[in-house]
Amino acid sequence: MRKLTVDVLQTRTPLRTLLPKGPSLGLEFPLAIPDAIGRSLLLTKFSILPLLRPTSLTPSLPANPASLLLVPFILTVPFASIVFSTLNFFAPEIHLTTPLELRPGGWLFADSFVPVVIPLLFLSLIGPVQGWGMGLGVGEDEAVLICAGLTSFIFLGRAVYNFGHEATASGRKIKTA
């Protein structure tokens, strides 16, 4: 690594030559795990639990089923993307259309349903809680781990689905069960 750093500094190699040319299975597969862990924490601990335990210093929404499901969805990145592509904000005239993410082959299809499925699963695991009347009574940390595992599985599957054909086309075979 040190030789690479020294070489870049001495030859003034532009950083863009060191970056990958585009997404690939080798790049997306290892990045799917930290992405899934971060996304599941955002959808559980950082959005639902503050609604269930409001502090007296900050105003809070009431903990009802609508707020418990909408707040995690709004806090995640796909919400803005879905709104912009549905209303065609980048077109000369604004009109409603099907979001690009939800069309066949949409690049964010997994990112669009994970913010709905993971909070439902989390609430069903830790419930019954205020605003959510059913559940299994699992501990919060265990529920977060289950949600992170499911999100990791979904994101790893997305990486293989999107870029697995490149590995088989280049002569390497992907073993499936």
3-state SS record for the chain: CHHHHHHHHHHCCCHHHCCCCCCCHHHHHHHHHHHHHHHHHHHCCCCHHHHHCCCCCCCCCCCCHHHHHHHHHHHCCHHHHHHHHHHCCCCCCCCCCCCHHHCCCCCCHHHHHHHHHHHHHHHHHHCCECCECCCCCCCHHHHHHHHHHHHHHHHHHHHHHHHHHHHHHCCCCCCCC
Give the per-residue pLDDT at 74: 85
Other beta carbons within 10 angstroms of residue 66's beta carbon come to: 10
pTM of the predicted protein model:
0.77
Give the per-residue pLDDT at 173: 56
Give me the residue spans of the domains in the chain.
28-50+62-169
Give the per-residue pLDDT at 174: 56
> What's the CA gap between 7 and 13, in Å, rounded?
8
Asked if 146 and 121 count as a contact pair (C-beta separation under 8 A), the reply is yes
Asked if the model's pLDDT at residue 97 lies above 90, the reply is no
User: Distance of alpha carbon 61 from its chain centroid, rounded?
Assistant: 24
| 27-36, 43-52, 56-65: range with lowest mean pLDDT | 56-65
pLDDT tens digits along 112-166 = 788 889 999 999 999 999 889 899 999 999 999 999 999 999 999 988 888 887 6
- Residue partners of 140: CB distance under 8 A and separation at least 6: 45, 49, 126
pLDDT tens digits along 152-163 = 999 999 888 888
Asked if 44 and 119 count as a contact pair (C-beta separation under 8 A), the reply is yes
Other beta carbons within 10 angstroms of residue 50's beta carbon come to: 15
Other beta carbons within 10 angstroms of residue 57's beta carbon come to: 5
Model confidence band, residue 107 (pLDDT cutoffs 50, 70, 90)? low
